[in-house]
Structure formats: C-alpha cells, structure tokens
A and B are shown apart, each in its own frame.
Chain A
Amino acid sequence: MPERSSTIDEPRVPAPDPGIESAGNAKVAMRLGGLWKTYPGGTQPAVKDLSLEVNDGEVVTLLGPSGCGKSTTLRMVAGLEVPDEGNIFLRDRAVVVTSRRLCLPPDKRNVGMVFQSYAIWPHMTVEENVIFPLKSRRFPRREIGDRVRRVLELVGMAGLEKRPAPLLSGGQQQRVALARALVTEPQLLLLDEPFSNLDAKLREHMRLEVRLLQKRLNIAVLFVTHDQVEALSMSNRVALMNYGVVQQQGHPRLLYEEPANEFVRDFIGRTLLFMGRVQSSNPSGQIAIAVQGAPDCVVFGRNYNPGGIKSGESVYIGVRPEDVQIRPALESQVPPGMVVGTVRTALFIGERIEYQVEVAGQRPMMIYGERHSPVEEGSKVWLKLRPDGHSAWSSVW
C-alpha cells in the first residue's frame, strides 16, 4: 500500500533553514520551500506557500487545471519568474533564497527545459540547436561533437543533424527539444506540457519514449501537465494543484483511490456519488454505508473528511464507475446487495458502453458496461457495487 501522502492539513515538510547553503541531502535533486508568487495586478497569489521535493531518478508531476499555478512553479524553478518569497535548491546549491535576495538567472542554473511550443530556433539546423547550450556554457570543443552525437542517438534523431529546423515534424521538433535539454546532462529536466501539441497517437508514443529515456538516464524530472492520464501514467509522484495550492501529493494510485478532498476526488478520474446513511464505523476508519433506496446494499469505504462522520449521518459514497457492474434485471425482485435502476441512454464509445442510469432517490449515474453485453435503452438494470474501497463524503462539494 503506497504511503499516505502529505495533504494541506498535515504538517508540511519544513523549509530548509535559509542560512544553510547546502541542502545536505545528495539524493534530492530539487527542493522548493515555501514559494509564493503573485503577479502584478493579480488579486490572488498564483502560487501559495508551495513546498516540494524531487529526488534523483524521480518523475514528479504538477497537475491541475489552467491557472492553478503549475506552470508558474516550473518557470520559477527555471529562473524565468522570480518568486516573491521562498527558496529553491538544486541539489546542494541555493539558486533562490528570497530572504537573502539571491536569485540566480536562468543561464546559471544548469537545468534542461522542454517548452510547450518546443521553441526550436528556426534559423538553425538540428545540430546547431543542440550545440547551443554547450557553446553557451563553454563546454570544451573536443567534447561537443561526441555529446551531440550521443544525445541525438538517444532521442532517435541521428542522421538528421544538418536538417533545417523548419523542416521538422512536430514529433521531431520535440525530440530535438529533448536532446537540447539533455545535452549538458543537467541535474533536473523541466517539461512544460511537452505533449499537448501532438496528435493523440503520437502523444501516447512519445510519453512512453520519454519515460523510457528518463529511466535510462535516471534523471530527475519536474513535469507539468493538465492531462491526468499523462500525470498518472508517467509519474512517481503527482502534486495536484488548484488556486496556487497543492491539494494533495503522492503516488498516483493514492490520489486516485484515497483523494484528500472533493477537488482531488472530482479532478482525478470520474466519481459517482451515491447517497447513503452511515450504519457503523470501526477504529481503523472503515465505514459501513447503506445505499439510499437499496437498504440491502451496504458497502464499505473510508472517510477522508477532516471532521469525521458519525453513525446515522447522511453521506455521499464516492464510487469509481469501473467499480460498478451493470446487468439486465432478470426479474422484478431485486437481489440482495444490488441497486435497481433504468437505462436512459447507452453510448458506444469503442472500448466500452457508457450508460446513463436513473436510480430512485439518487442523481443520474454514468455507468460503464462491457461492449460484448449491451443493455437496451429504457430497460431495467441491477447495479452491483464493489463491496469496499470507496470513499465517504459529507457533501457533494
């Protein structure tokens, strides 16, 4: 079972003492401590008191809707934005300590960054694009050729050194952007929504390639995306942000199965909310809830609300759609442990059928069904909920 993550209510990892130049832990590739950022003219901070660590070889993703502060955080690490408060350490080096007015410019931080638009310089060839960081950082001439060749092989662009940048496809541009970011062997790789400009198939392919590359190089990655499939599939840890605050961070599975609050619950995947009543709870935190309108149907879940939930209280049971099975009702008598409903619409979307089901006393539900066992619109169905693994909420939001 993955470790319980830190949430906004738990004590956060304390920021390192600004008086200490060295972060003291060589395994940590990047440490952010108490970062704050408000844009001029903005009424709310774009980033509020953010603390985060990325270890060597780890992929940490900043996930969230537009405007949540994830890109701002990435840009502060790169040196393209200056935080109002807080510290940034790269490995054992302080690059930002606001209390000491220390803020290294981007050219002095030795991070690699892939931009959303790739920013491949159109007046240069592939080779010239990749050589640029080596020349800017004054790498010895004898090393340059070898590094460029190796990194282009790594990203699968060997043989295209002399190709002018405007003649590259989207996928090729991305590879060159990666090569450029990796050629100086930085301690940290920053990816700013690098797949959003690719078509769906290429996106899937490049995600896999980048993940394999990262594992091979064992490089620390800070990744920004609004796409949760990307975040969940590529990351060792995900930090979900909203309004500048990290709502929950931890292993992707943790955010999916044990959301810390309603925002996390609703942002990550889909959640069905069944109304029910708490029957009992045990010391381990497990709650037995009877589904409203189907008293025979009792499921178990955990309460993730800070205030706790009492017996007899009305609650919402958070159920993932894949944890509900749908079957045609064979008779009028509802079997124990099942909920009866009526199919209003059935949408074939390829790998499954999505049913909108009306259940008495409940909100309309979107249930997934197998494509080989379709159910007719208008027919009665029985819904079988998984017996445990759900979440309990005292409110919809």
Chain B
Amino acid sequence: MLGLKTATRSIPAVGFVPRTGNVVMALILGVLGFYILYPIVLIFINSFNVATLASDPPRYSFDNWRSAFREPLIFEAVGNTFLIYVLYTAVSFPAAVVIAWVLGRTNVPGAHWLEFGFWVSYLLPSLTTTIGWILLLHPQIGLLNDAALRLGFAREPIFNIYSVPGIVWAHLVGNAISIKVMLLTPAFRNMDLAYEEAARVSGASKLYTFLRITIPMMTPVLVIVFMLNLVRLFQSFETEQLLGTPFGFFVFSTLIYRLIRFTEPAQYGHATALASITLALIALIIPLQRWLTQRRHFITVGARLKTGLIDLGMARWPVFYAVTFVVLLLTLVPVLMLVLGTFMTRAGFWEVTPVFTLGNWSRLFTDNLFWIGMQTTLLLATTSALASPLLFSILAYVLVRTSWKGRAALDALIWSSAALPGILSGLGLLWMFLGTPFLRPLYGTIVPLVVVVMLSGKLLGVQLSKAVFLQMGAELEESARVSGAGWLRTYYRVWLPLMMPTLALLATINFVGAASAASTVILLATKNTMTLSILALAFGTEGDLEVASAISLVVVVLTLGVALAARWLGLKIGLHHQ
C-alpha cells in the first residue's frame, strides 16, 4: 500500500450522532433558558403557593390570587406604572425628536459636545439625578423652594418632588430624554439629505419639508426607538422608591419590594401574583415589539449618501443655548447639587452652624457598610466588565456566523429577557436560590449578584456585537480557516482584536450598569453583599440625604471616571458608536 492516510469517520451502526453545533446550542439554550425561564416559571408556580415562609413546604391554592384581586393597591400599582410611563414618554419623546433633529441635521454649534452631554446624562445613574433634584425640589429643604421663599416669589413651597409630576420630572432629567436622543441622533444624521433637498426644490418650505418628508421618513426609526423604550415601562425602580414611597405612591416594582422586604410576614403570595400579572402584560408586548423592530424599514442609506447640514440661520445660537440648558439640567445641575449636599451639615438648612462640614464624608468613610458596598460594587462591576463582553460576543457569533438550529429561539430568549424587569429577575432568582437545594448555600453570597449582573445588558451587548460581525464580513474568518486556523485560534487571533473597540465599549457600559444596578440586585443582596447603589437608596429613603448624596457621588466618580478614562484612551464612546 502507498501508506496514504485517508480520513474516515466511523459511522455508528445505530443511533444519532450529535453534531457539535447542536450540542453547543443545546448547552447555551439550556443555561440561558434556565437562568431566564426557570425563575419566571417559579414565580408563576409560587403565586399559587400559600406557605407563609419560603422555607416551609409549599401548599398550593388560589388564595393568593383571590386576596391579590381584593387588594386595590396591586391594581393601583400597575395603573401607576402605566401613568408614569405615559406621562414621561409624552414629554420626552417629542423633546428627544426635536433635539436629535437639531443635533443630527442642523448646523447648531457644538453638536459634538452636546451629544456627548446626553451620553454623560445616560451614564449618570438615575439614583444620582433623583437625589440631586430632591435637593432642589424638596418641599421643605429644596434649594429652589428656599430661594423662591427668600426672594419673596412665593409664600409657600412651589415645588414638591414627592408627587406624580415630581416623579415624571425625575424621569425626564434622568434617562428618559437622553437615551432617546442617543438612539435617534445617528438615525437623523444618516438620512440622505437629497430627500429634503428634492422637497425644497419642488417648492416645499422648510417646515413643510420637515413635516411631510423628514418625520414620515424617520417614522420607522421612531417606532423602533419607542418600542425599545417600552421595555423600560416596568423596569423603573429607584426613582419611584425614593419619590413615591414617602407619599404612598407605588408602582409595580416598588410594591413588590415593599411586599417582600417591608411587610411582616413577607407577602410572597401577593408579590408573585403581581409579578405574574406583569409578566402576562410583558408577554403581550414582546411579540409586538419584535415584529415591529424586525420589519424592514425603507430608510436605506445608498452608496451615494449625501450628508449635509440644514442651516438654522439666525436661530443657531438661541437653539444652542436651549439645548445646552437641557444638557445642564440633565448633568451638571444634579451633580452640583449632590456635591453641595455632601458638604452641608443638613442639606437645605442654611441656618445650621456650621453650614458646611466634612462630617458627612468622615461618617461615610468610617462606616464599614460603605467599604463592604465599595468592595461588592467593584467586584461586580469588574467581573461584569471583563466577562460579559466576551460572553455576548460569543452569543453574537453563534447567532450571526453559524447555521445551527435553535438560533431563532436563542435570539427570542435574549430579546425577551431584556423585557424582564430587574426586580422580577431578582425575585425569580431569589426563589431559585432559596428553593433549589444545591443552590441554597449560595444565597447570601456574592454569587447570585455576579450571575445577575453579568447577564444584564445582554440585549445591547449581543446586538452591538452582531452588528460588528455583520459589518466585518465572513471573509476575514474564512481566510483564517483556509490558512489552517481552528475555531479557537481564529476567534482570538482574528475576531477578538478586530472587536476590541466594541468589547471595550461594552465593558464600559457593563461596568457602569453593574456599578449603578439597584433593582436587579436589591432582593438578592444581604448586609454582607450590599452594593453602593442599594446603600444610597437606603440612606435616601430614610431621609439621610447628605450621606445618600455622598455615596451617589462616589458612584458617579466611579462610573463617569471609567467612561471618561476609556474615552481618553481612544475608545469611540457614544458619539460614533451607533
């Protein structure tokens, strides 16, 4: 024989030979499915469990549901959730459309910096801006009320942030406007100017062109942005916890938290019933959202895209000042108030002697809880920053580059999980860790927090990574494989270096998200695994605004510091990354 080696694969006589892809996909779906679906299933099941304590053997009946339906607070909470969302969306959406149009399509000066300002606003934790604005609009100690009274503009406090308008305002100056501006501005910028020029040459005025051409052509993008934001409907927690709870105003997330943490005995039954109602509503929204966002929309950017800016003429500078004012309200104003609050003996009290003190900071730095919080936060944020981008890029690779069966299910799972409010993830995982014998010892450790924080933000992470893979094309990998590299080598020698900017961006976003996470971890955290955000929330709820401000400031320095350092290191954060 010639000694030729032929590669043969022995075919088993009977049975099914699983292909690698199917095995890996089954593993991914299994793990993610377990993490995402199992807690949901547990929530549903436990809504029928009428055992008083979690450690008791379960007893099933409809009692929870019956009493839940009789409890007006539950439906009120759901209604309040919608109310707040509708109110802040009704204001933030048109405002964001106008701002995005200004930044993306006109020659307003400093558009670059203004857009960065909205990015900073997005990165600022909502806890930070809420506390900052409490210090301005608190009915008794708010600076604006104080100024109005002293200057004689009013005899009584004008503003009360502990109200529905106050909560709506806190959302507006939090993320509500900035996230929409960030999503819409690139879309406005990329619209081919020729469409508007054709309208102008055809006889349409600037306003007519804006209404009949620009807005209708942007409608698909507007719908997408609206739907992406719909998931935030049930996710809001910190703002309502700080501002709503004091006057008995509950939304779905704060009521669940109260039922579990502040009711004796803990009302798991009602909490899970409320959670189940919410899940049912979310289940209705998700397919609609997916259908709308995946439809082909007709704004195509052709090869001959003409970009150009619309001249605002005399209105350039007034518009600049107006947008700058908005940016300042969203960023500098709350942060400055925080700084002020940390140095006042009693925030808002100017008659106290001394007015200013370092005592709040020394109280904080000598409190062991702070250092536990710092340690936990840093650990969570760093783990999330390092591990999550890699994980998401692998998921994105599976979705884009393979033809394995089950990708549609994986995509749907990732998408759906984004709609799951943090508090429900926390609740479900709480049940999972408490109710599963081999997981119970992990409750009270940092492990559940790491898991939940690592897997947060997977939708954005996977979507961004997918976009990069699609853009880079298959040939880069194919040439590596043809050159003899296996999958692993190709991944770390070809894909990872090319994806580094995206991974670094994701790392930054995940770091910031993990550092400021509250609702996802609040039910799983214990005294020894407290995060800084939860600590700030606790102090804020108890009225210790000075220390709450100090902790929030530390979180801001941490998160913004990392983001700015990343930008300084040359990462294209926010402005160019779409």
Contact = CB atoms under 8 A, between A and B. Distances in A.
Answer yes or no: are A and B bound together in one complex: yes
B208 A136 contact: yes
A107 B204 CA distance: 6
B298 interface: yes
A45 B305 CA distance: 24
A116 B219 contact: no
B27 interface: no
A113 B201 contact: yes
Nearest to B219: A123
B217 A122 contact: yes
A115 interface: yes
A184 interface: yes
Contact of B198 (A79, A119, A166): A119
Interface in A96-155: 105-107, 109-113, 115-117, 119, 121-123, 132-133, 136-137
Given A117-B192, A117-B306, A132-B202, A123 B298 contact: yes
B302 interface: yes
B195 A119 contact: yes
List 3 A-B pairs, minimum CB-CB distance, nearest first: A136-B203, A119-B198, A133-B202
B383 to A, nearest CB: 46
A52 to B, nearest CB: 19
B171 to A, nearest CB: 31
B202 A80 contact: no
Interface string B289-315: 000000000111010111000000000
Given A105-B200, A106-B197, A184-B203, 12 more contacts: A79-B201, A80-B201, A107-B204, A113-B198, A115-B197, A116-B304, A117-B305, A119-B194, A119-B195, A122-B300, A133-B202, A197-B304
Of B192, B200, B202, the most chain A CB neighbours within 10 A belong to B202
A83 B288 CA distance: 50
B58 interface: no
B203 A133 contact: yes
A115 B208 contact: no
A179 to B, nearest CB: 12
Contact of B202 (A116, A123, A165, A180): A180
B329 interface: no
B205 interface: yes
Contacts of B109: none
22 contacts: A78-B197, A79-B201, A80-B200, A106-B200, A107-B203, A107-B204, A112-B201, A115-B194, A116-B304, A117-B194, A117-B302, A117-B304, A117-B305, A117-B306, A119-B194, A121-B195, A121-B199, A121-B213, A122-B298, A123-B217, A137-B203, A166-B298
Contacts of B300: 122
Contact of A122 (B200, B201, B208, B299): B299
B216 interface: yes
Interface string B234-256: 00000000000000000000000
Nearest to A81: B308
Contact of B201 (A111, A123, A197): A111
B198 A123 contact: no
Contacts of A180: 198, 202
Contacts, number: 76
Interface in A51-94: 78-80
Contact of A132 (B192, B199, B217, B299): B199
Nearest to B208: A136
Interface residues of B, number: 25
Interface in B501-532: none
Nearest to A105: B200
Interface string B134-157: 000000000000000000000000
Interface in B259-307: 298-300, 302, 304-306
Nearest to A183: B202
Nearest to B192: A117
Contacts of A107: 200-205
B200 A79 contact: yes
Of A78, A80, A119, A132, the most chain B CB neighbours within 10 A belong to A119
A322 B221 CA distance: 56
Contacts of A110: 203
A128 to B, nearest CB: 10
Contacts of B299: 122
Contacts of A177: 198
Interface in B201-224: 201-205, 208, 212-213, 216-217, 219
Contacts of A105: 200
B78 to A, nearest CB: 36
Contacts of A121: 195, 198-199, 213, 216-217
A109 B212 CA distance: 20
Contacts of B204: 107, 132, 136
B368 to A, nearest CB: 59
Interface in A145-203: 165-166, 177, 180, 184, 190, 197
Given A107-B205, A119-B194, A136 B219 contact: no
Contacts of B304: 116-117, 197
A180 B200 CA distance: 13
Contacts of B192: 117, 119
Contacts of A79: 200-201
Interface string A314-355: 000000000000000000000000000000000000000000
A79 B204 CA distance: 13
Nearest to A82: B311
A180 B199 CA distance: 10
A165 B204 CA distance: 20
A309 B66 CA distance: 109
A136 B199 contact: yes
A197 to B, nearest CB: 7
A347 B446 CA distance: 75
B301 to A, nearest CB: 10
A105 to B, nearest CB: 7
Contacts of A133: 202-203
Of B199, B201, B203, B213, the most chain A CB neighbours within 10 A belong to B201
Contacts of A115: 194, 197-198
Nearest to A114: B198
A183 to B, nearest CB: 9
Contact of A78 (B201, B205, B208, B216): B201
Interface in B368-401: none
Contacts of B302: 117
Contacts of B219: 123
A172 B113 CA distance: 43
Nearest to A122: B298
Of B199, B208, B217, the most chain A CB neighbours within 10 A belong to B199
A113 B202 CA distance: 8
Of B192, B194, B298, the most chain A CB neighbours within 10 A belong to B194
B296 to A, nearest CB: 9
Contacts of A119: 192, 194-195, 197-198
Contacts of A113: 198, 201
Contacts of A137: 202-203
